[in-house]
Structure 1
Amino acid sequence: MKEEHFKWYSPTLSKDIEMLVFGHAGYPVILFPTTMGKHNECRDMKLVESVRWFVEQGLVQIYCPDSINELSWYNKTIHPAERAKNHVWYDEFIMNEVVNKVCNDKGTNKVAVAGPSFGGYQAANFAFRHPERVSHMFSMSGSFDIKSFVDGYYDDNVFFNNPVDFLPGANHPDLWNMKIVLGVGEWDICLEANKKLASILTEKNIPFWYDEHQSAKHDWPLWNKMFPHYLSKL
């Protein structure tokens, strides 16, 4: 399985960023790490290994960028308005420096996005904000309400990065064309969050697959089981 490491200075974030890319060809999948994870986390925790066959067959290429959660939602040393603004810059970074470049290189208009735990939030938030650029969204034990990270503060940047708030009013036609998977475990700490998002999608008649695994908890063994199953549908 081909693995490449990239490091560059991000003009959007004004900092160095790293990314791992797996595979030599195939449909692009942006894979976000968990809470404070970096570009190497999904490799080190064997999530990439779980889909080795798809990568080696040239069916998919997987892009694992850094997160900056320690500078945004998880940074309790700055005002919540700054946390939200830092995430907006991260969203712009993913679009301008990752997705747009990948699409230009591959001659495609869309990518798939995926992630476990907080990466599931990242995948869902990006997909629902930019449905014109996302064909598939695979959330594995994600949570979709960011309000607990902003200490009661609320502004447009919080609203438009909080899927349970902005999605009910979203009407981009590509939302109804996106292939959406909400994967969660029966004993998952994010079970209720997935049920809530499922109800929003149902109310909007947006097609999706709700995949609840019995006797499973919020952890890597579950996600390593989910990811190859979801890629098989791509």
Structure 2
Amino acid sequence: MVKEHISWYSERLQRDMSIRIYGDKGTPVLVFPTQDAMSDNFENFGMIDTLSGYLNEGRIQLFCVDTVDTETWSNVWGDKGWRASRQEAYYNYIVAEVLPFIADRNGTGRLPIVIGCSLGGLHAAILFLRRPELFAGILSLSGVYDAKFFFDGWLNETLYENSPMDFLAQMPPDHPYIRQYNEKPIILCVGQGAWEDEGRRTTAIMGDIFRAKGIHGWTDFWGYDVNHDWCWWQKQILYFLPYMLGETRIGG
């Protein structure tokens, strides 16, 4: 398997940011790490080994990014307005810097699937739901979709744009994005075991919003033994990935 580590200085974030690439061809997959983690997160927790069959067969190519979560979502004592602005800068970094890099390096002309676990699932949802034309689909595992949860209930205009539960609820039912959503696979999965309470709450709300807006998103709730942990995310990604790649028709 081809593996590469690349970094560059981002003017938008005023710091070096890295990307780890796994595989040399196939459908591009943008991967967001778990909270506060960096581009080595998937490798460190065994997900690259889990996906080795797909990677070795050239079916997918992973692009795993860094985060600035310690400055934004986890910076509980920081100024809330600055934290929200910093998250917006990170969103712009992904759109303006990372996605063109993926397109150039992957070379297939395919739009990337976006995937994330835990807080990575929130990042994935923000990107896909704000810019569906840039992605082929989303798989979010154990995400929390209410930005206010990380900001003690606080919300301003900038954070609103990074809170899927809020901005999607206000989207007009005739918005052109809804047609684009319905052309692509949308999967939000959560367990019902330990440490999944907020994920369960917000995934259920997202399911209600999907139904109200006519969005064909799949919200899937796994069992009460399914905890917020890597062993389950590894099982879930193998279960859902064939659907994301258009190889099966499982799901709702």
Q: Judge same fold: TM > 0.5, yes or no.
A: yes
Report the residue type matching 1:193 in the other structure: T
What is the CA–CA distance in structure 2 between the aligned matches of 1:196 and 1:212, rounded to whole Å?
A: 12
Equivalent residue, structure 1, for 2:90: 90
| Residue 167 (structure 1) aligned with residue 178 (structure 2) | no
User: Does the Cα contact within 8 Å between 2:26 and 2:108 map onto a contact in 1?
Assistant: no
What is the CA–CA distance in structure 1 between the aligned matches of 2:55 and 2:161, rounded to whole Å?
A: 33
Q: Deviation of residue 77 (structure 1)?
A: 3.8
What is the CA–CA distance in structure 2 between the aligned matches of 1:29 and 1:133, rounded to whole Å?
A: 12
Percent of counterpart pairs with the same letter?
28
User: Does the Cα contact within 8 Å between 2:63 and 2:102 map onto a contact in 1?
Assistant: no
- Counterpart mapping for 1:28-107 below 5 A: 28-105=28-105, 106=107
- Return 165-174 or 216-225, whichever deviates more: 165-174
Q: Deviation of residue 10 (structure 1)?
A: 1.1
User: Does the Cα contact within 8 Å between 2:28 and 2:110 map onto a contact in 1?
Assistant: no
Equivalent residue, structure 2, for 1:197: 206
Report the residue type matching 1:120 in the other structure: G
| Residue 208 (structure 1) aligned with residue 217 (structure 2) | yes
| Residue 15 (structure 1) aligned with residue 24 (structure 2) | no
Q: Deviation of residue 104 (structure 1)?
A: 3.8
Q: Deviation of residue 72 (structure 1)?
A: 1.2
Equivalent residue, structure 2, for 1:151: 152
| Residue 228 (structure 1) aligned with residue 238 (structure 2) | yes
1:183 partner SS = strand
Q: Deviations over 1:109-151 (max 9, x none)?
A: 6211011000011101110011110111000010100112223
| Residue 186 (structure 1) aligned with residue 186 (structure 2) | no
Report the residue type matching 1:211 in the other structure: D
Report the residue type matching 1:144 in the other structure: Y
Where structure 2 has 5 or more consecutive residues not aligned to the other structure, the ranges are 246-252
1:211 partner SS = strand
Runs of 4+ in 1 over 6 A off after TM superposition: none
Report the residue type matching 2:181 in the other structure: L
What is the CA–CA distance in structure 2 between the aligned matches of 1:154 and 1:213, rounded to whole Å?
A: 30
Q: Deviation of residue 152 (structure 1)?
A: 4.2
Equivalent residue, structure 1, for 2:116: 115
Q: Cα RMSD (Å) of the superposition?
A: 1.4
User: Does the Cα contact within 8 Å between 1:80 and 1:151 map onto a contact in 2?
Assistant: no
User: Does the Cα contact within 8 Å between 2:141 and 2:189 map onto a contact in 1?
Assistant: yes
What is the CA–CA distance in structure 2 between the aligned matches of 1:217 and 1:134, rounded to whole Å?
A: 28
Alignment size in residue pairs: 234
Q: Deviations over 1:93-116 (max 9, x none)?
A: 111111122124425362110110
User: Does the Cα contact within 8 Å between 1:43 and 1:49 map onto a contact in 2?
Assistant: yes
User: Does the Cα contact within 8 Å between 2:111 and 2:134 map onto a contact in 1?
Assistant: yes
Query: TM-score, structure 1 length as denominator?
Result: 0.95
